[in-house]
């Protein structure tokens, strides 16, 4: 996005931290990221300020045989 580096740090199973040059791009990046990591529902910046938060997803465990 805009030829600038952005990073995502997964803090725990519900929270990720976004960093990058232009925080105006975070919403679009979060939407793209959520496609691959839907259980992460809270997104924060470097100052731990919530950028965007979604309702928690119900997690369940599958038994593999």
Q: What is d(CA 19, CA 5) in angstroms, rounded to the nearest whole number?
A: 9
- What pLDDT, on a 0 to 100 scale, did the predictor assign at position 1? 60
- What pLDDT, on a 0 to 100 scale, did the predictor assign at position 44? 95
The predicted model gives 12-28 an average pLDDT of 90
Count other Cβ atoms within 10 Å, centred on residue 16: 20
pTM equals: 0.80
* Burial of 14: CB neighbours in 10 Å, binned 0-12, 13-18, 19+: middle
The predicted model gives 24-39 an average pLDDT of 88
Looking at the structure of the chain, the number of domains it has is: 1
Q: Tell me if 59 is assigned to some domain.
A: no
Asked whether the predicted pLDDT for residue 2 surpasses 90, the reply is no
Determine contact, residues 23/65, Cβ cutoff 8 Å.
Answer: no
Confidence of residue 48 (pLDDT cuts 50, 70, 90): very high
Q: Name the residue range of residue 14's domain.
A: 6-53
The pair of structure tokens assigned to 1 is 């996005």
Element containing residue 10 per DSSP (H, E): strand 6-10
Q: Tell me if 24 is assigned to some domain.
A: yes
């Amino acid at each position: 996005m805009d030829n600038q580096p952005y990073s995502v740090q997964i803090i725990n199973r519900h929270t990720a931290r976004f960093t990058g040059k232009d925080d105006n791009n975070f919403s679009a990046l979060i939407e793209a990221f959520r496609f691959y990591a839907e259980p992460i529902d809270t997104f924060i910046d470097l100052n731990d300020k919530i950028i965007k938060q979604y309702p928690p997803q119900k997690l369940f465990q599958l038994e593999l045989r």
